[in-house]
Structure formats: structure tokens, C-alpha cells
Structure 1
Amino acid sequence: MIEKTTSRDQDGWGEMTSEAIQAMLMDNAARSFPYRHPFFRRLYLVAFLLVTLLILLPAWTIIYIPTKNRPRRNWKLKRCLRVRFSRRLCGLIARCEIDYLGRDLSIDLDPRKLKYSHPVNIPPAPSDILCGHPKEALDLLQASRGRWMLRYIHRYKREKEGIWGKWNNSDNGNVYGLDEVKAFWYTGEKSTAEEAPQFRRPGDPVMLHFHGGGYVLGTAAETSLSSNFPKALVKHSPIHHVLSVDYRLAPTAPWPLPLLDAISAYHWLAKVEGVEEGDITVAGDSAGGHLALSLVRWLRDQGQNVGLKMPRGMVLLSPWADLGFTNVWGEEAIRHNKDSDTIDDTFGPFACSLLLRALPASIMHTSPYISPASLLLPEARQGEKSFEQFPATYIVYGGAERLSTNIQLLWSRIRLSREFDPPIIPDRLFVSPDAIHDFMIFPWMAEEASEVYEDLDGWLRELLSADLPEEDEQSVAESLEFEESIEASWKEMVRQRRLSRQMTRESIKSHKSPVMGPVQDDLGMIRMMEDMSEEGLSMITTDISMPQFDLEMPKSPEWLTPLTSDLRPDYSLDDDEVPWYDLDGSADRDIDTETRKDR
């Protein structure tokens, strides 16, 4: 049994232990036997959408007209409705056991059809790079094969052979380990279909980004909501090269396979693309923030053993830092921001069931790689469970989100380790008081996002223009991998590279990025309902694993018009409108505002 870090009784819930938390999660898990069958699930989802849009949405409108009934007094009516609908939609994931909302990584996207991104296939890192936590977790995954247990999903006779079907993967013959990784370069909007990624000079900063989605959904592709972050970043920050990674998702790739993909992506940037680690910033939103934390911890613990250095900094957007759910222990804690966020009670436990099904149950409370903000992990200023030697970190979260308590605890633990190991610039915590979880990816929360981008731009410029310890010329030369270079040639190469890096630093320091322009959410109610119906229909019409039960839904069916329309990646914007992440207030731009051409 794991000892609790505090002795106080949480609202009469008793002592917080690993076993007690697991029992609580199981008691609150969705019971969804009728909805698991693909045919009945599809019928239920259609009924769900109709009831929500035609009955519940008008009822919610009446309820939220008085401002005293709104989750946040500052919210407008449309925001209340959007959050309520999104939370109801989120609840479908666990109730209907939907695990196919990611992208099929076996299919390469046609780069000519992409407007903002450039697909790239990243080779797996060398096998000898695996050590430490990912190696230990991978060994456990292989050893437990055929006995994987999904702890917070209900089944009658849970121990019965074959009860978990495809989620057990006992007979598929896969060899789990390092694999090819899909990713996308974001370097700005393309002017032609065949345009290549923008040229990167030595010293230009690069961001390695991991998308959110609870490890069960989402993609790095530009049609995903998470792509709004790299799209906006290349325009409203000094980082104009963002590599967003399509790491493997938990339904087919439990932990540590997503971490292996993150390691391969980082290794590829540093050792294949030749990007200096000091030019890399690691970032992630929601579950992607958790993956970014795990990657940086592994680099801190094992980087010297495998020839990889730490990144320059880390940016975390609403990071999921307590996969053990210790921060929801107690009546008050479990209800924290329950009515003001898009996350449903059942989503997190369902996602963890898939992600950690191959590992011991206690790992979610004992491993700093899994739950760095767990209350069942002792606070530490130094050592392997601390944040000692972590790079400068920027964290942003919404005051209305359910994960705010575990993010606050994460922040306090990072700050605790800074007493002995200060970063090159101060860490930064940005709290948007009335924003929801992962709010920066939602077009209808662009007003709050614009404030973050302006603040983040200043912090990144300070970080990227700060002086690092002088590079050792011999190590730089070796990193260039010249086979027969003479001393004079590599010294000249080092000199040229340092000159380029210095010019980049000076440009970053002396400029600022365009500020995001008009960002009001001015969509009418009918437009909002149309957008919401598209979100529901995209879930219903997604391909399922049993084609014989597929009910093909026509686009914009007459019985839902005008509530539906074709699913579009520009989020219901007219052709003559500019996406919110491209708004830059150019009319007010001053001479010090930076564009990509400035570097």
C-alpha cells in the first residue's frame, strides 16, 4: 500500500491510497453494455445527437439566460452552450467505448492537399537508445502480453479469456518497440500546393509539439483542433518551424509506445536533421503536455547515456499531470469545476484504462513519468522524482478547467526544484481565469488564446535570445559528421554557424510577433448549432471496426438541415473569412513587428 503524503481526511472519504482511488474510479466508470455493439451504438449516437440539438439545447438556452445560472458569470450564453454540449459529447467516449477517433497512421496524407503542413516520416531511433523507464515499461508490456487488464471498464467475468478482445492483443503477432513515426512540419500557410517547408538556417528555433486527446483521440494533422496551436505559433511567436508528432495512440499502442515515438522524433531532430538541442523547445497540450513532460524527464535521466542533450525550454498547455486521479480525492475535489469544463467524469479513467492496461496498477501513483503531480508521490527538491535540471518552463491553463488543481501542484513542484537549479530565464505560469481545459485550440476561445500568444511571444523571445554556455568547438564539429574534414574546414564551419546563430538571436531579441487581431466569437446561434452538429456527426460517421454494421450517413441530411453541413477543417468559416489563428492586426503593426522574412 502506498502511503499518502497528507494525513487529513478528505471530506469523510477516508485515507487516500492507491487501492481506494482505483475502487472509486471503478465505481464511477461508465456501464455501457447496450452501446458497445456497433449497430446499437450507431442508433444510440443518432438519437443522442437529435435529442441534444432539438430538445436539450433549447432547454439549456432557457436555463442559461439568467446570468446567475451560468457556470461563469462572465461567460456569454453561446459559451455556456458550447461547453455544455462539448462535455456531453465527451461523455460518449467512455459510454460507447469509442476508441477509433484518431488518424489511421498507415495512410500517408497527400501533401498537395494540405494547406498549412508538410507530412514527414520519421525513422525509428536506434534500438540501443532505449534505457531507463521506457525500456523497463516495454519489458513489462511484453511480459504481460495476453493478460492485459482494462481496470476502469466494466465487464462481466473480467478475467475470462478473450473478454477484452482487440485491447488484449495476445494473438496479433506484433513486436512492440520503436517504430516509424508520422509527423507534420508547420512553417506557415503554403502559397502553392507543391511548396516545401520554409528553409531553416542554423540557430533558427524549432518546436517539437505533441497533440492532446487523452491518448485515445486526436492527430497532428492540420484538420485536428490541436493543429490550431502550431498554426498560430508560426505566425504569433518567434518559432517558425514546428514539428507536430502523430505518436501512436493507446487503443492500439499502450504505454510506453507513445513515449518511444516521442524519443524517436527528438532523436531525429537532433541527430538526423542536425538541429542543436539548444534550439529545440518541447511543447504539448493536454495529454501531449504529459508526453512532453515524460520525454524531458527521460532526457534528464538518460540523455547523457545516449548522447542527447536537454531542450532549450518547455511549453505546456493544460498538461495532464496526474493520471492517477489523486487530485480528485474528496467530495469537494471531485466536483472541482465540474460544471464549467468540457471534460466528462468518465473520459479520464477510460483513457487511462487503455493507456496503462499492460502495466501494474500501482504505476499510475508511483512513477513520476506517469503522474508527476500525484499526491501519492512525495515532493522532492532534488533526485529522480524531482524536476531538477528541467529546462525553463511555460505553463498555461484555464481557471475553469478540471485539471487546474493538478496543474497548480505540478507548477509548485517545478518551482520547488528551482531553489537549487534555476533555469536560464524564470519559469512562467499563465492562468486565464474563465477559460476551459486546453482552451487555446478552440476557435471560440480565441480571445483568451490571443492574450496567451502575446505573453508567450515575449517569454519565448527572452528564452531564445538568452546566452547559453559557450559550445565546445570539437563537439560541434563532431556533430556535423564530416568524415575527412581537416581542422581548418570544421573551424570555419563552426564560425559560420555561430555567426548565423548570433544573427538569429539578435533578430529574436529586437523584434516581436504580430499580435492576433479581432478574435470575438461572433457566430450566430444557427451557425453555432450547425458547428455543434458537425462535431456530433463526425463522431457518428467515423468508420467503425465492423463494416457490416456501418450506416452511411449522407452529408448534410435533409432531416437535420439547417443544423448540419459538411465537416470542414476551417471550422465553419466562410471562404472570404480569415481563420482566427491568421488574424494578426496588420493594420496596427509597427516597424518592430517580426515576420518570417526577417530571419
Structure 2
Amino acid sequence: MVEKSLGKNGEWGEMTSEAIQTLLLANAHTAYSLAILVHSLPIEIKSTKETVDFKAMFTSEIQDLSVDINPEQLKYSHNVVIPAAPPSTLRGHPKDTLDLLHASQGQWIPRYIHRFKRQKEGVWGKWNDTQAGNKVYGFEAVKAFWYTGEKAEPAEASKPRQMGDPVMLHFHGGGYLCGTAAETDLTSSIPKALVNHSPIHHILSVDYRLAPTAPWPLPLLDAISAYHWLVQTEGVEERDIIVAGDSAGGHLALALTRWLRDEGATVGLRLPRGMVLMSPWADLGFTNAWGEEAIRHNKDSDTIDDTFGPFACALLLRALPAPTMHTSQYISPASLLIPAKTNGKESFENFPPTYIVYGGAERLSTNIQLLWDRIQLGRQKQMVPDRLFVSPDGVHDFMIFPWMAEEASAVYEDLDVWLRDLLAAELTEDVDHVDVQSEDQEEDTGWRDMITKRRLNRQMTRESLKSHKSPVMGPVRDDLGMMRMMEDMSEEGISMIGTGLPIPHFDLEMPKSPEWLTPLTAELRPEYGFDNEEIPWYDLDGSPNDEDRKDR
């Protein structure tokens, strides 16, 4: 166990799974989670001209995955439906946790979320699956978007990919609570920028299932389906794939890569060429925030609210035993309650080359730094060294925010160099790999010509990567981009869960760089117009009921 110094009130002591859970649940009684507020309170605030629907504004990025986006409205991407991976692919951690998910049906109680009479039967509504009966969870078809550059016209096809061209498999951020792979989402600025400012011009961003309706390991199953489809159906070789993600998407990229290392060979899948992690969430059990100083780390500079992480974790892991978040290397690879090792399943042994970027002003910086240290601990010989990029003034996931475009540009320029070195490196298999499968194939002139052409293509690709550099991202001015994004999402049928509220039209004469739009910073929340004591505590899963409501 890990010892931390006692705080002023004696609340900090020995770090244990039980102590962390107790503290977080206690805080849930006294601290409002913005995520809870926007799902439960009909709050409005006043702009200079009109009323802004606060609730719709901060939940507009929660996508109704049943709504198909009109392809005619897509300017940067092409939508695609990825089929479910075959049942034979379900192995290891995903299978074990899926079995636990099924075994605990009817008993899913989100931790760290305060609710009046929390033990009362049925109080957790849609966050439990009692209404679904004996539903069988598993692999399902998943929606995704190909980013290959801006279209000249709506009907334009995606850019053709030549054999050997690199592909990025990207997972968006949002704490497993919100966000989409759609181009109207704020996190889509990452694949849009990478297509133009990196050597990778084909990026598949995945709309994996989200925690409010899909607990762990269902997001991981969607990630496996996407990787399997790229390799087995689209014919993309693993050595041409870079797995990437920001925030929660970085966590998902880590989990997928670990599963490929542990189970991939058994199901005919190899590890990707490399991994790119942007502000990855690597300690879902909050061990790095244990201690009076640790919990305040970068609190005044970051965009993450105290209770957003616990709220997200409560929903994501509600079907699993509580200690899992502290003891599973798939769920919390940077947990202080997991011993650091140089080899074995709990280590990062044999992980592909990795690029990590984070902001010096973000609250997750300590767990990301620990993640980096543990990756280095498991390293042996590498064809390309790992790379850590720290942007001194960057907040969490700073690369998605238009007002941090200058910091993001520096990252893309640095990442371009690293990706070119990685993709241009000659793999051992390029020299030693035997393409001939049988004597019949060896005598097949057409087959041998194809192999020769493929090798020449790869050689030309490597030479091009070495001799070129991607354009540097110029200045970005998009003070009202978030507002336009939300209106676009409304037009595409993307709205908050459980309601058909439209996204409002915002006052276009609001001050530039409106900091109050930052959704997760407690200190920057707008005035609601009434005292906290007057805020009613609504049941999150239905209409308010006097017996199940507590005025706070």
C-alpha cells in the first residue's frame, strides 16, 4: 500500500481501494458534478440578447448513435458502419469483464454519485439494466468516420489509399460520457488537423459506445471490432496502423493495444506500428490524486471539474467490482496500487513505439507522467524511441480547443517528425518476411509481380516520408466555433440523451474567447440566479418525485 501524509482534517492516510471509494462518495454528497446538473436541472442563463439553454449547451456532444448523419452534410469525413468482430475474438480481459457485467445484471449501482435513498430498488433507472431483462451484451456493429481531407463537394468520395499508406485508428475523448467521432464534435479537430499536418492521410475515428448506456468493457469491444475490420476486411496491415486517442480515447487506445499484445496472436492480429496518446486518462481509480497536495494539483489552471472524473468512472465501471479500477492494468495502467514492473502482463513489455503529449497545466499530468515512466520501464531495444511532449501552458486535451491553436501547432509539427521517423523505419520483417505461402504461389507469376510491386511501393513510401515534411498549421481564429459546432450537431440529429430539446441559437455578439463556455471548470460557471440551497435534487432518470428528491 502507499502512504500519504495526513491532511488538516486527518482524512488522508493509507491509500487503499476502500479509502479512495469512501472519500469520493463522501465528496459526492457535498460537491455538485456539472455532468449531473446538466442531466437533471432545467437551468437557463442570460446572454446579452437572449436566453441560452445551459443544459442543452453542455450536453450537445452526447450523440444519439441511432441517428444516421446525412452524408450530404459531411464536409471532412465519410461515415461507415463497422461490423461486429467475430465471437472467437472475445478473449482475455474483455471476456472476463463481460462475464462480470452479465453476472451483475440488476445490481449496477454507480459509485461516487450521491442520490437520496441510493439503495432503494429502482432508484438507478437506466443506469441499471433491470428493465432490459437478461440482455446479452457483446460485440455490435459500430459507426465510424473516415477523415481523408476536406471535400470539394458533398458527394466527393474519400481519397484513395494505396497499399502501404499509413492509417490512424482514432478514439475521441469525452470521459466515456460524451463526445462523438462526428466532424461537428470539438475533438474532431484532431483527425482534421492530422490529415493536413502529418504523414497520415487516412484516419478512422470510431463512435464507440458510451458509459451512460454501455458500461465497460463494451467500449473496448467496439475498439477491437474496428481494429479487426481494418486488418481482416479492409486489408490494412498492422505495420501500417497507428492507434491514437485523446483523453478517454487515449485510455481506450491503451487498453486495445494491451489486448492486442496479450491476445492478438491467438486471433490472428498483430500489434500496430505505433501509438499516439494525447492527455490520456490512465488512472481511473484516482490514486494519483490521493493526498491533500495531489488533489489540488493544477486545480486552478485546468478545465476539469472535481467531480467530472468520478461521475464518469461511476457510470463506466458500475457493472464491475469496485477494486477493479485500482487493480486492473487495462483500466488503470498508471494506478499507484499496481506495482511497476519491467516485464509480464502488468508491464508495458513489447508495446509499440509511443508518442505522448500532455499539458503542464492539466490535472492529469501526474498520472500521465507516471504512465510514461512505466512505459520506459518496460522498454528494451526500439527501432524508434518513444517521445514525450509537454506543452507548459496546455490544459487537459488542449489540442481540441481553438484558442490553444498555437500550442497545438507546435505539437503537430513535432509529431510529424516522429511519425515520419517511425513510418520510414525499416522493420525486420521488411527484410526477413517470407511472402511465399506455397509452391503453387511461388510459381504464380502474377502473384510474384504483386509482391514485387508492394515492396517497391513501400520503398517509395519510406523515401517520401524521409524527404518531406507536412505543412505547419497556421493561426486559427474561431472564437465562436463551439457555438457553430453545437448548431451543426443539432441539424445532424445529435442531441442530449433522453430529450429532443433543440440546440439554441446563440448570441453572435458575445465577447470573444468566452471563458465561461469552458464546461468543466467550477470556478468559471455562470451565475444561476438562485442559491444552491434552492436547487432541487431531481431523479436523473425520470420526472422528479417528492419521495426521491432532496432539496440541497
TM-score band w.r.t. shorter chain: 0.7 to 0.9
Q: 2:529 matched to which residue of 1? A: none
Opposite residue 372 of structure 2, the aligned amino acid is W
| Distance in 1 between residues matched to 2:394 and 2:208, nearest whole Å | 27
Q: 2:203 matched to which residue of 1? A: 242
Opposite residue 179 of structure 2, the aligned amino acid is G
- Contact 1:299/1:309, CA 8 A, preserved across alignment: yes
- Contact 1:120/1:184, CA 8 A, preserved across alignment: yes
- Contact 2:171/2:181, CA 8 A, preserved across alignment: yes
Q: Tell me the secondary structure at the aligned position of residue 301 of structure 2.
A: coil
Q: 1:19 matched to which residue of 2? A: 18
Opposite residue 248 of structure 2, the aligned amino acid is A
Per-residue CA shift, 1:120-161, capped at 9, x if unaligned? 100011111110000000011011111111111112332222
Q: Per the alignment, do residues 546 and 522 of structure 1 end up closer, same or farther by CA in structure 2, a change over 3 Å counting?
A: closer
Q: Per the alignment, do residues 544 and 477 of structure 1 end up closer, same or farther by CA in structure 2, a change over 3 Å counting?
A: same
Q: 1:115 matched to which residue of 2? A: 75
Is 1:457 the equivalent of 2:416?
A: yes
Q: 2:401 matched to which residue of 1? A: 442
Q: Tell me the secondary structure at the aligned position of residue 217 of structure 1.
A: coil
Deviation at 1:423, TM superposition (A): 2.5
2:216 pairs, out of 244, 255, 259, with 255
| Distance in 1 between residues matched to 2:456 and 2:235, nearest whole Å | 17
Opposite residue 461 of structure 1, the aligned amino acid is R
Deviation at 1:499, TM superposition (A): 1.1
So what's the TM-score if we normalise by structure 2? 0.84
Opposite residue 125 of structure 1, the aligned amino acid is A
Q: Per the alignment, do residues 301 and 332 of structure 1 end up closer, same or farther by CA in structure 2, a change over 3 Å counting?
A: same
| Distance in 1 between residues matched to 2:39 and 2:183, nearest whole Å | 31
| Distance in 2 between residues matched to 1:294 and 1:461, nearest whole Å | 25
Q: 1:492 matched to which residue of 2? A: 449
Q: Per the alignment, do residues 99 and 144 of structure 1 end up closer, same or farther by CA in structure 2, a change over 3 Å counting?
A: farther
Matches within 5 A, 1:320-399: 320-399=281-360
Q: 2:428 matched to which residue of 1? A: 469
Per-residue CA shift, 1:494-544, capped at 9, x if unaligned? 21111111111111111000011234x585xxx699789989x99xx9445
- Contact 2:287/2:336, CA 8 A, preserved across alignment: yes
Q: Tell me the secondary structure at the aligned position of residue 409 of structure 1.
A: helix
Fraction of identical pairs, as percent: 64
| Distance in 1 between residues matched to 2:357 and 2:255, nearest whole Å | 18
| Distance in 1 between residues matched to 2:160 and 2:458, nearest whole Å | 15
| Distance in 2 between residues matched to 1:460 and 1:553, nearest whole Å | 39
2:505 pairs, out of 541, 555, 561, with 555
Q: Tell me the secondary structure at the aligned position of residue 413 of structure 2.
A: helix
Q: 1:425 matched to which residue of 2? A: 384
Q: Per the alignment, do residues 187 and 410 of structure 1 end up closer, same or farther by CA in structure 2, a change over 3 Å counting?
A: same
Q: 2:90 matched to which residue of 1? A: 130
Q: 2:107 matched to which residue of 1? A: 147
- Contact 1:146/1:168, CA 8 A, preserved across alignment: yes
| Distance in 1 between residues matched to 2:203 and 2:166, nearest whole Å | 9
Q: Per the alignment, do residues 220 and 10 of structure 1 end up closer, same or farther by CA in structure 2, a change over 3 Å counting?
A: farther
Per-residue CA shift, 1:33-69, capped at 9, x if unaligned? 9997999711xx20xx33xx67xxxxxxxxxxxxxxx
Q: 2:143 matched to which residue of 1? A: 182
Q: Per the alignment, do residues 463 and 154 of structure 1 end up closer, same or farther by CA in structure 2, a change over 3 Å counting?
A: same
Per-residue CA shift, 1:323-378, capped at 9, x if unaligned? 00001101100000001011000100000011000000000000000000000100
Which moved further from structure 2: 311-320 or 150-159?
150-159
Q: Tell me the secondary structure at the aligned position of residue 128 of structure 1.
A: helix
Is 1:193 the equivalent of 2:189?
A: no
Q: 1:403 matched to which residue of 2? A: 364
- Contact 1:530/1:563, CA 8 A, preserved across alignment: no
Q: 1:70 matched to which residue of 2? A: none
- Contact 1:473/1:491, CA 8 A, preserved across alignment: no
| Distance in 1 between residues matched to 2:37 and 2:301, nearest whole Å | 32
Q: Tell me the secondary structure at the aligned position of residue 100 of structure 2.
A: helix
Q: Tell me the secondary structure at the aligned position of residue 131 of structure 2.
A: coil
Bigger relative contact order, structure 1 or 2 (CA pairs below 8 A, ≥6 apart)? 2
| Distance in 1 between residues matched to 2:96 and 2:482, nearest whole Å | 48
Per-residue CA shift, 1:263-297, capped at 9, x if unaligned? 00000001110001000000000000000000000
Q: Tell me the secondary structure at the aligned position of residue 318 of structure 2.
A: coil
Is 1:102 the equivalent of 2:62?
A: yes
Q: Tell me, which stretches of 5 or more residues in structure 2 are unaligned?
A: 49-53, 513-552
Per-residue CA shift, 1:90-144, capped at 9, x if unaligned? xx89xx9x87842111122122210000001000111111100000000110111
| Distance in 1 between residues matched to 2:16 and 2:475, nearest whole Å | 49
Q: Per the alignment, do residues 10 and 322 of structure 1 end up closer, same or farther by CA in structure 2, a change over 3 Å counting?
A: farther
Q: Per the alignment, do residues 229 and 477 of structure 1 end up closer, same or farther by CA in structure 2, a change over 3 Å counting?
A: farther
Opposite residue 555 of structure 1, the aligned amino acid is H
Opposite residue 308 of structure 2, the aligned amino acid is F
Q: Tell me, which stretches of 5 or more residues in structure 1 are unaligned?
A: 55-88, 566-599
- Contact 1:114/1:193, CA 8 A, preserved across alignment: yes
- Contact 1:473/1:494, CA 8 A, preserved across alignment: no
- Contact 1:177/1:257, CA 8 A, preserved across alignment: yes
2:475 pairs, out of 503, 518, 522, with 518
| Distance in 1 between residues matched to 2:175 and 2:378, nearest whole Å | 27
Matches within 5 A, 1:199-218: 199-218=160-179
Deviation at 1:170, TM superposition (A): 1.8
Opposite residue 456 of structure 2, the aligned amino acid is L
2:498 pairs, out of 541, 545, 549, with 545
Which moved further from structure 2: 7-16 or 332-341?
7-16
Aligned length: 501
Q: Per the alignment, do residues 334 and 262 of structure 1 end up closer, same or farther by CA in structure 2, a change over 3 Å counting?
A: same
Per-residue CA shift, 1:371-420, capped at 9, x if unaligned? 000001000000000000000000000000000000000000001111xx
Q: 1:9 matched to which residue of 2? A: 5
| Distance in 1 between residues matched to 2:227 and 2:292, nearest whole Å | 41
Q: 2:464 matched to which residue of 1? A: 507
Q: Per the alignment, do residues 424 and 495 of structure 1 end up closer, same or farther by CA in structure 2, a change over 3 Å counting?
A: same
- Contact 1:394/1:427, CA 8 A, preserved across alignment: yes
Q: Tell me the secondary structure at the aligned position of residue 202 of structure 1.
A: coil
Deviation at 1:422, TM superposition (A): 2.7
Q: Per the alignment, do residues 9 and 202 of structure 1 end up closer, same or farther by CA in structure 2, a change over 3 Å counting?
A: same
Q: Per the alignment, do residues 100 and 350 of structure 1 end up closer, same or farther by CA in structure 2, a change over 3 Å counting?
A: farther
Q: Per the alignment, do residues 522 and 545 of structure 1 end up closer, same or farther by CA in structure 2, a change over 3 Å counting?
A: closer
So what's the TM-score if we normalise by structure 1? 0.78
- Contact 1:531/1:564, CA 8 A, preserved across alignment: no
| Distance in 2 between residues matched to 1:288 and 1:504, nearest whole Å | 29
Q: Per the alignment, do residues 533 and 289 of structure 1 end up closer, same or farther by CA in structure 2, a change over 3 Å counting?
A: closer
| Distance in 1 between residues matched to 2:411 and 2:252, nearest whole Å | 21
Opposite residue 399 of structure 1, the aligned amino acid is G
RMSD, aligned α-carbons: 3.3
Q: Per the alignment, do residues 41 and 451 of structure 1 end up closer, same or farther by CA in structure 2, a change over 3 Å counting?
A: same
Q: Tell me the secondary structure at the aligned position of residue 429 of structure 2.
A: coil
Q: Tell me the secondary structure at the aligned position of residue 28 of structure 2.
A: coil
- Contact 2:223/2:256, CA 8 A, preserved across alignment: yes
| Distance in 2 between residues matched to 1:331 and 1:318, nearest whole Å | 23
Deviation at 1:562, TM superposition (A): 3.6
- Contact 2:361/2:396, CA 8 A, preserved across alignment: yes
- Contact 1:101/1:216, CA 8 A, preserved across alignment: no
